């Protein structure tokens, strides 16, 4: 065979392997979960008097506890416990961790979170209201947890972040330290760039593409590169994607700095599944204009989710707009609520 033919054949084989890799990467196959339970461990609101509705089961007071002991802690923070059931086997992990260690630990105890069963830890992004309790929680529960448990984080999770004060000053929002996690000795940090399995039935999105025209981040949120402050576009922000058997996708976002519509579109793209069962989490619309809120609602409506559950940083105005415009799908979220998906 001539040298020219060998080169051509080699190029063809390389191209074929490359196309196969692209095809294989086009859609991830998230195992279908027969059931998933998402428990709100901490959020901005708690009430002991919100009735159950649709897929939401509310925290029930333990009659054996004194009345002063049953209340759950709420804060400007977010944390979830997620359990999937795949082929009859349960799997569980935590997504985000809130800010107040004592409050979050107490909630976990009242909500019967079993640290020994956790298979993974995940953080949506490097803002204090999503990671601040993590090190102290792990120290408190280290004897109950699996050795080498993975902690999944996105790109730039450990950089210092800032907020531009109205007077123009860049105010630090703190910095999550990788070395604090590594010093624990039993947690394995895994940086995520591409769609990544967490446990059977659950994936992280990988980098969320910003494809909508109006979801372009929040200008007051900054990151420092060299000596320059720049707008923080949270390139490593992660959302959780579940695949519920016979129901479709569940998209769970921590803050949606890259846009909740973008997160849903990313979930549909990486899975090849169009049907959306539920959209949940922080939508970061508390600073948004009425126009942006309406465009977001219109695009979420277009995906025809069965349920919509705004949390945390969605903002009162946007939450009420979702409630008014999607009343059949809307569910009000409170700390301690369990969302049962797939029954």
**pLDDT tens, residue by residue, 245-263:** 999 999 999 999 999 999 9
Whole-angstrom distance, CA of residue 78 vs CA of residue 140: 19
Whether the CB-CB separation of 135 and 181 falls below 8 Å is answered with yes
Query: Domain extents for the chain?
Result: 30-341
pLDDT of residue 26: 55
Rounded to a whole number, what is the distance in angstroms from the first to the last CA of the chain?
62
Confidence of residue 69 (pLDDT cuts 50, 70, 90): low
Whole-angstrom distance, CA of residue 255 vs CA of residue 275: 22
Strand partners, 253: 239, 281
**Over 50: is that where the pLDDT of 120 sits?**
yes
User: How would you label 49-74 residue by residue, b for 16+ Cβ within 10 Å and e otherwise?
Assistant: ebeeeebbebbeeeeeeeeeeebbbb
Phi/psi of residue 84, each to 5°?
A: -110, 150
Reported as a single tens digit per residue, the pLDDT across 175-188 is 999 999 999 999 99
118-122 β-sheet, strand order: 56-57, 338-341, 35-42, 79-86, 89-97, 118-122, 149-154, 187-192
**Over 70: is that where the pLDDT of 323 sits?**
yes
Residue 310 belongs to what H/E stretch? strand 307-311
Q: State the average pLDDT over residues 29-45.
A: 97
Q: Would the CA dihedral through 226, 231, 235, 240 be positive or negative?
A: positive
Tokens describing residue 206: 């990988």
How many other C-beta atoms lie within 10 A of the C-beta of residue 252? 26
For 5, what's the count of Cα atoms within 13 Å in the CB-facing half-sphere?
2
pLDDT of residue 3: 37
Lowest mean pLDDT among 27-31, 154-158, 182-186, 325-329: 27-31
Whether the CB-CB separation of 302 and 212 falls below 8 Å is answered with no
Tokens describing residue 273: 């599944």
pLDDT of residue 60: 83
Q: What CATH number should be reported for the domain whose range is 30-341?
A: 3.60.15.10
Alpha-carbon separation of residue 43 from 47, 221, 333 (angstroms) = 11, 21, 8
Strand partners, 228: 225
**Over 80: is that where the pLDDT of 6 sits?**
no
Reported as a single tens digit per residue, the pLDDT across 219-242 is 999 999 888 999 999 999 999 999
How many other C-beta atoms lie within 10 A of the C-beta of residue 184? 14
142: DSSP letter: G
Q: State the average pLDDT over residues 327-334.
A: 97
Confidence of residue 138 (pLDDT cuts 50, 70, 90): very high
């Amino acid at each position: 065979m001539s040298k020219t033919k060998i080169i051509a054949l080699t190029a063809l084989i390389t191209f074929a392997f490359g196309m196969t890799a692209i095809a294989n990467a086009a859609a991830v196959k998230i195992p279908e979960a027969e059931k998933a339970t998402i428990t709100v461990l901490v959020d901005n609101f708690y009430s002991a008097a919100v009735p159950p509705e649709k897929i939401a089961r509310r925290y029930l007071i333990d009659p054996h506890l004194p009345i002063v002991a049953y209340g759950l802690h709420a804060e400007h923070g977010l944390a979830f416990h997620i359990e999937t059931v795949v082929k009859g086997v349960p799997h569980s992990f935590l997504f985000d961790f809130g800010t107040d260690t004592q409050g979050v630990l107490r909630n976990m105890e009242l909500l019967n979170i079993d640290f020994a069963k956790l298979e993974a830890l995940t953080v949506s992004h490097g803002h204090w209201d999503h990671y601040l309790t993590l090190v102290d929680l792990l120290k408190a529960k280290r004897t109950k947890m699996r050795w080498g448990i993975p902690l999944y984080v996105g790109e730039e999770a450990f950089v210092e972040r800032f907020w531009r004060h109205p007077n123009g000053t860049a105010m630090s929002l703190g910095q999550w330290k990788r070395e604090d996690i590594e010093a624990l000795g039993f947690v394995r940090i895994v940086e995520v760039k591409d769609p990544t399995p967490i446990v059977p039935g659950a994936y992280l999105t990988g980098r969320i593409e910003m494809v909508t025209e109006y979801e372009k981040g929040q200008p007051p949120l900054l990151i420092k590169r060299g000596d320059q402050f720049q707008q923080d576009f949270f390139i490593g922000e992660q959302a959780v994607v579940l695949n519920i058997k016979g129901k479709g996708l569940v998209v769970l976002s921590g803050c949606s700095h890259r846009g909740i519509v973008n997160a849903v579109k990313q979930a549909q793209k990486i899975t090849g599944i169009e049907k959306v069962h539920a959209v949940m989490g922080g939508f970061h619309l508390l600073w948004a204009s009425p126009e942006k809120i309406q465009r977001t609602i219109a695009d979420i409506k277009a995906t025809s989710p069965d349920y919509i559950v705004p949390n945390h940083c969605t903002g009162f105005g946007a939450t009420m707009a979702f409630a008014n415009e999607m009343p059949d799908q809307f569910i009000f979220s409170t700390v301690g609520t369990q969302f049962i998906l797939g029954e």
